[in-house]
């Protein structure tokens, strides 16, 4: 038996339970889980409101780092004993879990488990969104909303690695300091600054990275330069904004939807190639992942609460 943090019915909150140790099926590997990175999607899945919520019962936790204990039929890579990171979509908040072998990425020897576990979704989202979808250029200005969060901080780092000037928007002095430390050229307080006026004073935005939605989206859209690209990454504010077509028409603005996990269904190669490049960037010292909290599995609900109550910066990671 192993311990897992599960959603057992649509009407009940997730809880720690004892379940049978899983066995890998064809094309799967069994991992001893060293760490699991939490994401806003975990909160939505716990409430049954995420677009890819599995049928209960299921174990929360989208991304993990672990060691291969056993392989299923047909699996030649990774081998038993290999240390890997994988985005499985569920199953990470447990002592062991089974995951698709073809999604496993080798983890650099020097990369800590808590870094590897929280690396894929946050960095993968920002890298693929800014390179493949927004085509961010070195001479452009990137405006990052929710800049001290898990994906926000990675957007700052990836934007700087691509040569852009980065304006970061976050709430409060502590979070602004984290964004500045990640490399932001300018920081703005969403509670106290006039975001529209401030961004315009800095020359406007060529690319907007928005995991927040709501009023910040509206201000950012109006602060866009001509031919800007606005990436809709998520709606952490709970407010899905309506897009005024007249503004995007007059300024030739593109509003681009981006769902990183969707690439597993229609272009898995693009996702894996992006992650492989990011692992190289980390090994070269170009990325400095920020993990604000490491929480034991026994306190998994407390870890989710950190996300929901906006008390974290960067990543929250759970360790069995």
Indicate which CATH number applies to the domain containing 80: 3.90.180.10
Q: Which structure tokens are listed for 231?
A: 């990436």
Asked whether residue 268 is assigned to any structural domain, the reply reads no
Looking at the fold, whether 164 and 69 belong to one and the same domain comes out as no
* Final residue in a domain of this structure, among 241, 259, 277: 259
pTM of the model: 0.90
**pLDDT band at 175, cuts 50/70/90?**
very high
In tens, the pLDDT along 271-320 reads 999 999 999 999 999 999 999 999 999 999 999 999 999 888 889 999 99
Using CA atoms, how far apart are residues 276 and 263, in angstroms rounded to an integer?
15
Which residues on adjacent β-strands are paired with residue 165? 141
Q: Could you identify the residue written with the tokens 């934007």?
A: 159
Looking at the fold, whether 87 and 12 belong to one and the same domain comes out as yes
Asked whether residue 72 is assigned to any structural domain, the reply reads yes
Tell me what pLDDT residue 33 has. Answer: 98
Looking at the fold, whether 113 and 138 belong to one and the same domain comes out as no
* Final residue in a domain of this structure, among 259, 279, 297: 259
Looking at the fold, whether 152 and 91 belong to one and the same domain comes out as no
Looking at the fold, whether 223 and 305 belong to one and the same domain comes out as no
Asked whether residue 246 is assigned to any structural domain, the reply reads yes
Other Cβ atoms closer than 10 A to 80: 12
Domain with 9 in it? 2-119+289-319
Using CA atoms, how far apart are residues 82 and 75, in angstroms rounded to an integer?
13
Asked whether residue 280 is assigned to any structural domain, the reply reads no
Element (H, E) at 176: helix 173-181
Q: Check residue 133 and report its DSSP letter.
A: I
Looking at the fold, whether 112 and 136 belong to one and the same domain comes out as no
Tell me what pLDDT residue 150 has. Answer: 86
Looking at the fold, whether 129 and 238 belong to one and the same domain comes out as yes
Looking at the fold, whether 248 and 168 belong to one and the same domain comes out as yes
Number of domain units in the chain: 2
For CA atoms 80, 33, 106, 234, give the dihedral sign. positive
Q: Could you identify the residue written with the tokens 């174990």?
A: 59
Looking at the fold, whether 105 and 156 belong to one and the same domain comes out as no
Asked whether residue 264 is assigned to any structural domain, the reply reads no
Asked whether residue 275 is assigned to any structural domain, the reply reads no
Looking at the fold, whether 134 and 252 belong to one and the same domain comes out as yes
Asked whether residue 271 is assigned to any structural domain, the reply reads no
Q: How far apart are the first and last CA of the chain?
A: 14
Tell me what pLDDT residue 293 has. Answer: 94
Asked whether residue 192 is assigned to any structural domain, the reply reads yes
In tens, the pLDDT along 189-240 reads 999 999 999 999 999 999 999 999 999 999 999 999 999 999 999 998 889 9
Looking at the fold, whether 106 and 88 belong to one and the same domain comes out as yes
Looking at the fold, whether 81 and 203 belong to one and the same domain comes out as no
Average pLDDT value over all residues in the chain: 95
What is the rounded average pLDDT of the residues 176-187? 96
Q: Are 96 and 2 in contact (CB under 8 A)?
A: yes
* Final residue in a domain of this structure, among 259, 275, 303: 259
CATH (domain of 205): 3.40.50.720
3-state helix, strand and coil shares in percent for the chain, rounded to the nearest 5: 35, 30, 40
């Amino acid at each position: 038996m192993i311990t897992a943090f599960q959603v057992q019915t649509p009407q009940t909150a997730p809880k720690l339970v004892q379940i049978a140790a899983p066995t890998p099926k064809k094309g799967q590997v069994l991992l001893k889980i060293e760490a699991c990175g939490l994401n806003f999607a975990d909160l939505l899945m716990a409430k049954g409101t995420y677009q890819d919520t599995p049928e209960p019962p299921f174990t929360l936790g989208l991304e993990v780092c672990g060691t291969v204990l056993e392989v299923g039929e047909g699996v030649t890579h990774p081998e038993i004993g290999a240390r890997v990171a994988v985005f499985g979509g569920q199953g990470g908040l447990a002592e062991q879990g089974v995951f698709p072998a073809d999604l496993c990425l080798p983890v650099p020897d020097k990369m800590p488990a808590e870094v590897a576990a929280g690396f894929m979704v946050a960095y993968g989202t920002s890298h693929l969104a800014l390179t493949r979808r927004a085509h961010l250029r070195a001479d452009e200005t990137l405006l990052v909303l929710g800049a001290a969060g898990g994906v926000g901080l990675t957007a700052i780092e990836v934007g700087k690695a691509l040569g852009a000037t980065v304006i970061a928007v976050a709430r409060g002095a502590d979070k602004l300091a984290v964004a500045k430390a990640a490399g932001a050229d300018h920081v703005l307080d969403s509670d106290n600054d006039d975001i529209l006026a401030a961004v315009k004073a800095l020359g406007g935005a060529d690319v907007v990275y928005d995991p927040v939605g709501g009023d910040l989206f509206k201000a950012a859209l109006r602060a866009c330069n001509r031919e800007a690209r606005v990436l809709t990454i998520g709606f952490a504010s709970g407010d899905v904004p309506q897009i005024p077509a007249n503004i995007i028409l007059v300024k030739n603005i593109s509003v681009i939807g981006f769902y990183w996990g969707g690439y597993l269904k229609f272009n898995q190669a693009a996702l894996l190639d992006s992650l492989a490049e990011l692992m190289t960037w980390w090994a070269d010292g170009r990325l400095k992942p920020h993990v604000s909290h490491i929480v034991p599995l026994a306190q998994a609900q407390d870890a989710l609460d950190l996300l929901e109550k906006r008390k974290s910066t960067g990543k929250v990671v759970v360790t069995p």
